[in-house]
Amino acid sequence: MASGPPSGAKKEQWGTRVGLVLAVAGNAVGLGNFLRFPAQAAQNGGGAFLVPYLISFVLMGLPLLWVEWAIGRHGGQYGHHSSPGMFARLGRARWLKYVGVFGLFTNLTVAAYYCYIESWTLAYVWHSLRGTFEATPPTTFFPEYLGTTNSDIAAIPYEAAGFFLATLTLNVWLLSRGLVRGVELAAKIGMPLLLGFGAVLAIKGLLLGTGDPGVVESPLVGLNFVWEPQASGLFNPSTWLAAAGQIFFTLSVGMGSIHCYAAYLRERDDIALNATTAGTVNEFVEVILGGSILIPIATAYLGLAAVQAATAGGSGFGLGFLTLPTLFNQWGWFGPIAGAMWFGLLFFAGITSSLAMGQPVLAFLQDEFKVKREKAALGFGLATLLLGGLVVVLYPGGTFDEFDFWTGTFSLIVFALAEVLIFGWIFGIDRGWAELNKGADLRLPSFYKYVIKYVTPLFILVVLFGALVKPSVGWSEAASQLMSTGAGRSRSTACSASCSTSARPAATSTRAARSRRCSSRT
């Protein structure tokens, strides 16, 4: 191992601090901020979900962000801008670099299906402006668009494939332009537009009154349901699992993307404040905007009880893609514009995330194989096209679900658990803490040394356990049964309910069920 960073190893740097923060925040702000978060809140008691959610952010989310920024900046000083090389610098064991391969694997495979979801939002922008949903209900349009109504599951849905190619081409072009003129520029344009569109929709939705056509309940009922904290969530194991899982996925940790972005920092550039700021921006977008659009608007037209029933799968996908475009028809001339804004903000949320998935792959090809950036971008595009093509063509057959679980859920959790253990126990928490505070504009509270080493790994283990083991009667009831001092039959029932395991989600029985499950990770 070299004794110090090689001179002049880094050829690219971020143009501005604002651009860096927006890029990292854009990586975290994804479709899940506007679809998955509201649905998870609706299914877990609204404000009762909020308290465990914020505690999970403090004890798991922020520490993971700091760890990934520290690993990235440290590796970048040795000329490594992708996770395999970075992890090799955290210790002497040769196997460490192979742990880093998970970062590349996850980025590439998640990008394959994430770009496809991203392309749906672009298609919906186009069809919203055309007024398609005024004549054709989304419940009819979308299955035909995906090809799920075709009896041949291998038939090509040509319109969906076309939008996928267009979206992937845009990603490849932006990546080929470089860090500043591509990734950073996209974040500087996309994030303000996302925030602007979200603010307009939130204000318009919250101003709906019972005198407006189709409105049956005040949107403030939905807003209060999401935002009003309730201590009852602290005593519900299911709520804790859902909250920790949402924090994990919303921050886009466990992917190697944040490591890559941090690797382009200078040795003494701040990471503590930058990471905290980027995480806070993501939480603002998720809680303030994400909690103020989907649930309040849907509540106004459907009622809160119907909204909770519609989010039974915990994804928000049905409300976002099937219900909301129909509700916008109640808004007269502004309806098509509102639809374009809604799916436009989803598109900007998606593309800033997918660019973050592509950058580590490009960095790996550039660093390890000396491939020029333009060719590396084409290589990423070709690999994503081949993998994503399987998702496009075989979506009706369940390929999407397999990608989503194994790469968008399982691999992320395993990688995050590995990195926090390596950082705290192999690299060493003392060295890690010194790295975190080097050049810091924000001095981190010292108790976080122990949180990173002990508490955060425990949180991630709980999330991993919750992803693999699902009681048939729900976690709350299973816990109650396990703690019961009743008769042996009760204990037997509790054991049966608590030990129902699954290595992956059960296959859905219908194509409609698959569609309800295909929300994004972030």
Domain boundaries, the chain: 34-517
* Mean pLDDT rounded to a whole number for the chain: 88
Please give the pLDDT value at position 56: 95
Contacts of 386 by beta carbon, 8 Å cutoff, 6+ apart = none
Confidence grade of residue 402 (pLDDT, cut at 50, 70, 90): confident
pLDDT higher than threshold 90 for residue 456: yes
Contact 113, 400 (CB under 8 A): yes
pLDDT average, residue stretch 254-279? 94
pLDDT higher than threshold 80 for residue 257: yes
Could you count the other beta carbons within 10 Å of the beta carbon of residue 414?
A: 17
Confidence grade of residue 484 (pLDDT, cut at 50, 70, 90): low
Structure tokens at 391: 């998702």
Please give the pLDDT value at position 296: 97
pLDDT higher than threshold 90 for residue 515: no
| Separation of alpha carbons 124 and 347, rounded Å | 10
User: Within 13 Å, how many C-alpha atoms sit on residue 269's CB side?
Assistant: 23
**Alpha-carbon separation of residue 192 from 15, 188, 189 (angstroms):** 18, 7, 6
pLDDT average, residue stretch 469-479? 67
Of 97-111, 331-345, 406-420, 495-509, minimum mean pLDDT range? 495-509
Contact 279, 251 (CB under 8 A): yes
Of 28-37, 295-304, 363-372, 478-487, minimum mean pLDDT range? 478-487
The size of the chain, in residues, is 522
Q: 500 by DSSP, 3-state: which?
A: coil
What 8-state DSSP symbol labels residue 59?
I
Please give the pLDDT value at position 407: 83
Structure tokens at 342: 């809604």
| Separation of alpha carbons 24 and 18, rounded Å | 10
Please give the pLDDT value at position 479: 64
Please give the pLDDT value at position 492: 41
Percent of the chain predicted with pLDDT > 70: 88
Please give the pLDDT value at position 278: 94
Confidence grade of residue 476 (pLDDT, cut at 50, 70, 90): low
Contact 161, 392 (CB under 8 A): yes
pLDDT higher than threshold 80 for residue 397: no
Tens digit of each residue's pLDDT (9 = 90 or more) over 139-191: 999 999 999 888 777 789 999 999 999 999 999 999 999 999 999 999 999 99
CA dihedral of residues 51, 57, 58, 59 (deg, nearest 10): 100
C-alpha dihedral sign at 62, 63, 65, 66: positive
| Separation of alpha carbons 122 and 103, rounded Å | 27
pTM of the predicted structure, to 2 decimals: 0.89
Structure tokens at 116: 């496809």
Tens digit of each residue's pLDDT (9 = 90 or more) over 334-379: 999 999 999 999 999 999 999 999 999 999 999 999 999 999 999 9
Please give the pLDDT value at position 3: 42
**Alpha-carbon separation of residue 40 from 49, 287, 343, 454, 507 (angstroms):** 8, 12, 20, 27, 21
pLDDT higher than threshold 90 for residue 511: no
Please give the pLDDT value at position 474: 64
Could you please report the per-residue DSSP string of 149-216?
TSS-TT---HHHHHHHHHHHHHHHHHHHT-IIIIIIHHHHHHHHHHHHHHHHHHHHHHT--TTSTT--
pLDDT higher than threshold 50 for residue 207: yes
Class of domain 34-517: mainly alpha
pLDDT average, residue stretch 439-448? 94
Please give the pLDDT value at position 480: 67
| Separation of alpha carbons 251 and 253, rounded Å | 5
